[in-house]
A and B are shown apart, each in its own frame.
Chain A
């Protein structure tokens, strides 16, 4: 068994391997390398998908609220638990599933700060914009139908069938929480009807 320092191997193991033969020891090393590679790749691809699948399931209410906005209330000790939530941020989330076709998102701008971020099934942030880019006072995105932008409508292809949209609005005053409700009510997250998609 050339290329391997036999002195580094305990005597009994060395004797045992010599009984097996160099050919099989070589095959064994190949199996070890292949198994290591497969497991390594499995872990790095499984971990983000598994973690974000659990997030998607939570945000969609185990699949009950899909392609629709959920507007979170103000985060307080009573509802935030052990999460380090920002008390000044109004979160809105949409668990997206493109199985039924492209999804339209509309986000109304809110002063002093609004951002929209889109994440794919691995948690990769593939799209983001904020209120400084909402010239008309809102942003409209068609997700799952790539194409040229049309009058400030962003047409984006999602890397994965499932995605998550998060809107973050800064609401620094008590009065703002009452006022933002009307703004949130105008947000849209929904499947584009087939007849509209064909037009």
Chain B
């Protein structure tokens, strides 16, 4: 192999290697930011990043992967829960009691979604609760049933058609960085009585 060809191959390989290194390093940094644990309480984890308030290209790149056009942290904060009090994944096959109280925000809501997807596939019109629907009384909190069938009485979030599901707590106009975490206690599962 002549010296000229070796030099050409060396230059071409260096350029190609540089492109790979540059691209990979950028993606690794952005992915690291995008999927970094954002904190929260033990069970209710911060769901996604808030809007960037500084023009940081890495942060903007990360946001473009996780939460397009999000709200600023002072306007809204989102928290996600995927397990019950015993650490078991939330599932349509079980019934739960969700218990909590007023949240540190102008307004709040809690919505049930399929794991890593959207609303549960049902027409029960019971996908969520909020500060209006379960106002509580004074310092008393709320009790909500989460189950695939409507209970005889009380507030209800339908898990019918959800499979494994997750709960998102939204705080609008938050007055504190963390929620007052509602509890999710499993009551029974299909087949328990057998």
Q: Is the CB of A35 within 8 A of B15?
A: yes
1/0 per position for A121-146, CB-CB distance to B under 8 A? 01111001010000000000000000
Across-interface contacts of A80 in B (CB, < 8 A): 118-119
Across-interface contacts of B58 in A (CB, < 8 A): 44
Q: Is the CB of B69 within 8 A of A32?
A: no
Q: Is the CB of B6 within 8 A of A16?
A: yes
CB-CB contacts below 8 Å: B146-194 with A: 168, 170, 172-173
Q: Which residue of B lies closest to A59 (CB)?
A: B69
Task: Count chain A CB atoms within 10 A of each CB in B26, B71, B131 and give the residue with the most.
Answer: B26
Stretch at the interface among A61-69, A112-120, A180-188: A112-120
What's the Cα separation between A197 and B65 when bound, in Å?
A: 38
Across-interface contacts of A50 in B (CB, < 8 A): 64
Q: Size band of the B side of the interface?
A: 35 or more
Across-interface contacts of A47 in B (CB, < 8 A): 30, 61, 64-65
Q: Is the CB of A87 within 8 A of B111?
A: yes
A14 at the interface (CB under 8 A from B): no
1/0 per position for A146-185, CB-CB distance to B under 8 A? 0000000000000000001010101011000000000000
What's the Cα separation between A155 and B129 when bound, in Å?
A: 39
Across-interface contacts of A166 in B (CB, < 8 A): 69
B41 at the interface (CB under 8 A from A): no
1/0 per position for B1-42, CB-CB distance to A under 8 A? 001001100110111111111110111011000000000000
CB-CB contacts below 8 Å: B56-99 with A: 57-58, 60-61, 63-65, 68-72, 75
What's the Cα separation between A168 and B18 when bound, in Å?
A: 44
What's the Cα separation between A96 and B10 when bound, in Å?
A: 48
Given A16-B6, A24-B10, A28-B14, the answer on whether A40 and B57 have CB atoms closer than 8 Å is: no
B145 at the interface (CB under 8 A from A): no
What's the Cα separation between A76 and B53 when bound, in Å?
A: 31
1/0 per position for B102-129, CB-CB distance to A under 8 A? 0000110101010001111111000110
1/0 per position for A50-76, CB-CB distance to B under 8 A? 111001000000000000000000011
A4 at the interface (CB under 8 A from B): no
Across-interface contacts of A28 in B (CB, < 8 A): 10-11, 13-14
Q: Is the CB of A20 within 8 A of B60?
A: no
Q: Is the CB of A123 within 8 A of B128?
A: no
Q: Is the CB of A173 within 8 A of B132?
A: yes
Given A37-B22, A40-B26, A172-B133, the answer on whether A77 and B118 have CB atoms closer than 8 Å is: yes
Q: Which residue of B lies closest to A39 (CB)?
A: B22
What's the Cα separation between A84 and B70 when bound, in Å?
A: 12
Q: Is the CB of B119 within 8 A of A48?
A: no
B43 at the interface (CB under 8 A from A): no
Q: Is the CB of B111 within 8 A of A86?
A: yes
B144 at the interface (CB under 8 A from A): no
Across-interface contacts of B51 in A (CB, < 8 A): 117, 119, 124-125, 128
Q: Is the CB of B15 within 8 A of A31?
A: yes
What's the Cα separation between A80 and B18 when bound, in Å?
A: 42
Q: Is the CB of B57 within 8 A of A36?
A: no
Closest CB in chain B relative to A167 CB, distance in Å: 12
Q: A86 is contacted by which of B19, B70, B132, B170 (Cβ under 8 Å)?
A: B170
Chain B interface (Cβ < 8 Å from any Cβ of A):
3, 6-7, 10-11, 13-23, 25-27, 29-30, 51-53, 55, 57-58, 60-61, 63-65, 68-72, 75, 106-107, 109, 111, 113, 117-123, 127-128, 130-133, 168, 170, 172-173
What are 16 A-B contacts with C-beta separation under 8 Å? A28-B13, A33-B18, A35-B22, A36-B18, A37-B18, A43-B26, A43-B30, A48-B60, A82-B117, A84-B113, A84-B118, A112-B107, A115-B75, A119-B51, A123-B63, A124-B55
